[in-house]
Amino acid sequence: MKHIISALVQNKPGVLAHVAGMFAARAFNIDSLAVGRTEDPNLSRMTIVVVGDDRVVEQVRKQLGKIISVVKVQDFAGEDVVARDLMLINVCTPPEKRPEILALIEMFNAKVVDIGPKFVMVEVSGPENKIEAFIEACRPYGVRNVVRTGTVAMARYARQRHE
């Protein structure tokens, strides 16, 4: 089971290493980790997708909370969240297949950001299942490489009102 955990952390060197090191030391299974600045220059937000049952996720939440540079931990389990992943993907495009690939890209609301004689580079963003579906749809044509940001998430307004 995948859980999304969001942690507000101090924007200082070593904090990412600390969190990553703790996950490794405690053998927690991490699917993805995305971190970036927030509206407050002293704080960054980490979005971590953890694989495990409720007991594991409870431990992840508590161990994260113990790290002093981690200011706040939110577990989005069962909550209404907007979760997005951004991917750049190089799809092979034999000339005869190009029109259908371009149609596929439009269907997914994705964008072509680079083009070469035998490939297109596509930018796709959306929930994880949309990303996965696009990759699957491209497989028959050939996927050269993929880079993803990992999930970032934010609670919807309905939940935020209660905090």
Partner 1 sequence: MSTQPSPKGTLSPYPIRKPGSQIIVDTLVEQGVEVIFGYLGGVVLPLFDKLYDAPIRFIIPRHEQGGCHMADAYARATGKVGVVIATSGPGATNLTTGLATAMMDSTPLVALTGQVRTELIGNDAFQEADTTGITRPITKHNEIVKDPRDLARAIREAFYIARTGRPGPVLVDLPVDMQLAEVEVTPPEEIALAGYKLRDKGHGRQIALAAEAINASERPIIYAGGGVIISNASMELRALADKANVPVTMTLMGLGCYDQGRPQSLDMLGMHGTAYANYAVQKCDLIISVGARFDDRVTGKIKTFAPQAKILHIDIDPASISKNVHVDIPVVGDAKVILSELAAAVEHRSRNEWFAEIAAWKAKHPLRYDRKADVVKPQYVIEELCRQTNGGATIVTGVGQHQMWAAQFYRFSRPRQFITSGGLGTMGFGLPAAIGAQIACPDALVVDIDGDSSFNMTLTELSTAVMYELPIKVCLINNGYMGMVRQWQELFYGKRYSCSSLKNPDFANLARAFGAVGYTVEKKEQVAGTIEKMLAEKRPCVVDFKVDRTENVWPMVPAGKGLHEMDGLDAYELT
- Which residue number, 62 or 98, has a Cβ lying nearer to partner 1? 62
Burial class (CB in 10 A: 0-12, 13-18, 19+), 5: buried
- Which residue number, 7 or 138, has a Cβ lying nearer to partner 1? 7
Q: Work out whether 46 is an interface residue with partner 1 (CB under 8 A).
A: no
Q: Work out whether 161 is an interface residue with partner 1 (CB under 8 A).
A: no
Give the span between the Cα atoms of 60 and 158, in whole angstroms. Answer: 25
Q: Taking CB under 8 A as the criterion, which residues in 57-96 touch partner 1?
A: 58-59, 62-63, 65-72
Q: Are 113 and 77 in contact (CB under 8 A)?
A: no
Which amino acid makes up residue 136?
Answer: E
Candidates 11-19, 97-105, 114-122, 144-152; binding stretch for partner 1 (CB under 8 A): 11-19
- Tokens 């940001």, located at residue: 149
Which of 124, 130, 115 lies closest to 147 in space, CA to CA?
124
Binding site for partner 1 (CB under 8 A): 9-10, 14, 17-18, 21-22, 25, 55, 58-59, 62-63, 65-72
